[in-house]
Amino acid sequence: MAKIPTPHIGAKAGDFAETVIMAGDPLRAKFMAENYLENPKLVTEVRGMLGFTGTYKGKRVSVMGHGMGIPSIGIYTYELFNFYDVKTIMRVGSAGAYDPALKLGDLVLVMGACTDSNYGSQFELPGTFAPIADFGLLRAAADSCDKFGYNYKVGNVLSSDIFYSDDPQIEKWQKMGVLAVEMEASALYMNAAKAGKRALVICTISDHLVTGEVTTSEQRRTTFTHMMEVALSLL
């Protein structure tokens, strides 16, 4: 059993709040800490993966980066759930739209996550596991979106290991009602299920695989605030 600090997280026992909001880009976590948290304290910066703990409206919360892809989020969320006693992890990330009705900036509340990854094989289940969100968090997030007036859809995404695919076969996923593609949700949901913890993924549409529309890295870092506000409202 690993001891803390872990090989990938430099925080001490008690440095993390019970709820951690995570983003692929550690600079997005830094943006959240600087713009939303009161008295944020840097608790880890191993490999440049920044993590902060502070308060939001009097409630203790941490924000941290998780990197790109299932292996990266798999490591960080495993260590947070199992070694730092984190109870809830919410990912706020970007996604590419498959659904023609989605627009840049819309939110996707990820109810379930398909995947082309082999991550779940470690559990040696006698079938195919369906990674899903915590329903309480999902329902509360939808309520918050309604309250704030944010455009959103609830549904299934594809968590893919491949960013540059020779043959993405988007149409096949569209036929199954998959809303968008991202790279981390399924591993987070599997780790949460195995640890008996809670997880939710809220994505902002950063590019559209149907229309070809895209946003810049700066826009993704500093203007995708609706998903942050929804996540913070669930504390």
Which of the residues are catalytic?
Answer: 207
Helices (H), the chain: 26-36, 70-83, 135-148, 170-175, 185-195, 217-222, 225-233
Query: For residue 5, is the peptide bond before it cis, meaning its omega torsion is within 30 degrees of 0?
Result: yes
- H/E run at residue 51: strand 51-56
At how many degrees (to 10) do helices 26-36 and 225-233 cross? 60
154 within 8 A of 179, measured Cβ to Cβ: no
State the amino acid at position 125 in one-letter form. L
Instruction: Enter the tokens of residue 38.
Output: 């009161």
Alpha carbon distance 41, 53 (integer Å): 5
163 within 8 A of 87, measured Cβ to Cβ: no
